[in-house]
Structure 1
């Protein structure tokens, strides 16, 4: 079959464009899911009192630090170099559309002003201010949405009992009332949904520590959607999505892959997808971790996610003084500059009609927002000197992004062989735009 008519071309595109909206999603939630799918790029921030030790966010567990000792950290936490406006400007320059920041990690320390505990940055540290309040306001000025990471797991709270897979070295008393802990965490979720203006959503973690526990996720998700109808709910539980969740996440892996060992759940077709990725090998600040990914690896991870219908949530771990190190900022700015020239092949796209290949991935745009319909071939391998297109695309023009001259095509057994010249390649990702002759570029 050969496709030359505009109607057939649009049918081909729309066949691969499956809106990620569950039937039971409220209209505002459905619109937020569409926005999320269009966003494609987010910034993850892991920041807390654990940064003082410079050994990552799990240091309380890995170094077997009891609560009595760990509580000595908050009085030393005074991030005088934290500047919410600088963070927001960096996010804008990087090209991210949303920021997800840790409000409470597994150590139980809250990086926001909670009225339900004094174990928070306002009451327990000399800093005495709410950095998340400042960040929410700064991001709003840049038109960037804010998501809150929240750990269901809590090594500090006395009512997180029975213990799960972790927290056994914290010196906890072997008692507690689980129902009180659930009320506590749901109360903090209410605070996050009411004290910071409109938010993008809540990103949960830690369910895997006690998967059999009565978390009342149904009640929690209902609370969020009632208080923030446009907020999205995600849960890093590594199993199939639960009812009430709005996107499926994959940790340190692209959807459908499991190199990390815990992404065993299948990939849903009903919800948006997200891959979260460290820029080095740590989430929280690690003074000795210098294994940073190159700009090429990061950009190819972003493109690889987009080609699988997913967002990339890229992490930074600020220092205890509130500064984001140059190793992070330089890479973020490089990605931002790349997106300025190539963003049309990423933002607002969906997975393309050609599944991931050895040479790279495809994304597609249906022609909304005044843009012409297009399929983008992302050639991520430098040795991809030629590629084969399926029969349905034999009549399409193939033009390197930003160029005007179509590539040479060589029909072969009902398919089309595209020859990629040296000047058709580009750093990180050679993008070829496919469009039908009837519609032009």
Structure 2
């Protein structure tokens, strides 16, 4: 998931001039439109980054970061035997946390496939002592619990010779050969066909790695040096499963054929990372923010940056305040289990969502963009004001909508308020201020 620190937003200036064509004249099917509406209402999902890299306990980019030779990295599958993986438990954990869907890595940048594929023997069924298809197990478990399933799929590949010309990453990995780009495209098509044929209804495909093929001269990014064949790939997906939503983590404005727009470790338009998406490049598609529960995507043994309950709830609220879903990531350990501290965090979030989910699920972005102090969501004529800084007095400047009532969400305490030509003043009793999120329900006439 993470990008080189040099990956600066200059590429956004030229991205649309060099970006490969999408699915021309794409008209989403009725099933797709319906799926988009479901997605917009879901608001919360689980991201799962898992692969043989978890054995090394140093994140999903360990092959690149440590420049591990191809022949050395190929030894890892022989040690990968996640006998403690339990798809039913994973799905139940997500459901109890209030999540409506799961997105899991089917193949990451290291090129190892976490599913049974005929395109290569470099996969969890053919190359590990475990010998079972974890995606099949997860698909079956999701179906039983009515949790929708998305597949993350890496466009870039540090293992395949046919991923040539090489991109900007993985250039220091010994043993990489030269192959044929069109064979690599054919390989991806084969795998995508398998993913959309062998696992039942799939809610979406989550692409990543487009940015690897941007030319870099040391100062700025130039043109895209390959044709990703998005016109063919996107059409293939929609032909096989019309409802399947396509997203691409390219950090650009959406292109034809995409069904939702994603933002990595950034709220929509914020671009605090320096390589995110500008506010001007936000389209009209459903939105999704992805973020880690600690500081890493894949399992990292030394990562101690576990986000607090308060931080995680605030991220859910702010994302919803932008009209966006939050896709919260965990990285399973090599044995297939989720770290206990992450399970505990998700359990706490689930409790909060059961009590306050009405202010998140099925809402639209509120009338004012979120800040660190407050966020707004809206459902019909009800505006939910989330006070995030423990203030008991809030002034909403220029708020001129006609009010029917203002009360605390939950216990329905009527709140003192005053409205004039300058705005709306709301006071919350000090003993009613919540340490994480004080939610005020503003009902309009």
Q: Structure 1 length as normaliser, TM-score?
A: 0.90
**8 Å contact 2:108–2:153 — kept in the other structure?**
yes
Say whether residues 1:340 and 2:354 are aligned partners: yes
Q: Structure 2 CA distance, aligned partners of 1:227 and 1:126? A: 32
Supply the distance in 2 between the matched residues of 1:269 and 1:350 (Cα, whole angstroms).
15
Q: 1:284 aligns with which of 271, 274, 298?
A: 298
Secondary structure, aligned partner of 1:361:
strand
The answer to whether the 8 Å contact 1:359/1:384 transfers is no
* Paired residue secondary structure (1:435): strand
| Partner-residue secondary structure (3-state), 1:61 | helix
Whole-angstrom CA distance in 2 between matches of 1:386 and 1:160: 55
Among residues 427, 432, 441, which one is paired with 1:419 in the alignment? 427
Contact 2:408–2:414 (Cα < 8 Å) also in 1: yes
Residue 27 of structure 1, aligned match among 30, 39, 43: 30
Q: Deviations over 1:339-383 (max 9, x none)?
A: 0000000000010123324521111112xxxxxx41111111113
- Aligned counterparts of 1:431 and 1:23: Cα–Cα separation in 2: 41
Q: 1:323 to 1:391 in 2, by over 3 A?
A: closer
Stretch deviating more after TM superposition (283-292 or 404-413):
404-413
Question: Within the alignment, does 1:239 sit opposite 2:252 as a pair?
Answer: yes
Q: Which sections of structure 2, spanning at least 5 residues, go unmatched? A: 1-24, 215-223
Which residue number in structure 1 is paired with residue 146 of structure 2? Answer: 143
Alignment-derived partner of residue 263 in structure 1: 276
CA distance, structure 2, for counterparts of residue 192 and residue 174 of structure 1: 27
Shift of 1:393: 2.9
SS in structure 2 opposite 1:139? helix
Give the alignment's Cα RMSD to 1 decimal: 1.6
Q: Deviations over 1:271-305 (max 9, x none)?
A: 01110001111100000001111010001000000
Scaled by the length of structure 2, the TM-score of the pair is: 0.89
Q: Out of 158, 161, 182, which is 2:161 matched to?
A: 158
Alignment partners' CA distance in 2, 1:80 and 1:335:
28
Quote the residue 2:70 is aligned against: 67
Partner of 2:307: 293
Q: CA deviation at 1:48?
A: 0.3
Cα distance in 1 for residues equivalent to 2:402 and 2:379: 19
**2: CA distance between counterparts of 1:141 and 1:243?**
33
CA contact (8 A) 2:393 2:425 kept: no
Q: Conserved in 1, the CA contact under 8 Å of 2:261 and 2:283? A: no
Conserved? CA contact 2:392–2:430, under 8 Å: no
Displacement of 1:261 in angstroms is 1.6
CA distance in structure 1 between the partners assigned to 2:366 and 2:290 by the alignment: 21
Contact 2:105 2:151 in 1 (8 A): yes
- Aligned CA distance change for structure 1 residues 293 and 357 (closer, same or farther; 3 Å): closer
Q: Is the CA contact (8 Å cut-off) linking 1:100 and 1:146 kept in structure 2?
A: yes
**Count of residues in correspondence between the two structures:** 410
1:322 aligns with 2:336: yes
Unaligned runs of 5+ in 1: 1-21, 367-372
Does 2:125 align with 1:129? no
1:382 lines up with 2:390 in the alignment = yes
CA distance in 2, matches of 1:78, 1:314: 25
Deviates most, 106-115 or 408-417: 408-417
Whether 1:51 aligns to 2:77 is: no
Give 2:443's aligned residue: 435
Q: Which moved more, 1:33-42 or 1:388-397?
A: 388-397
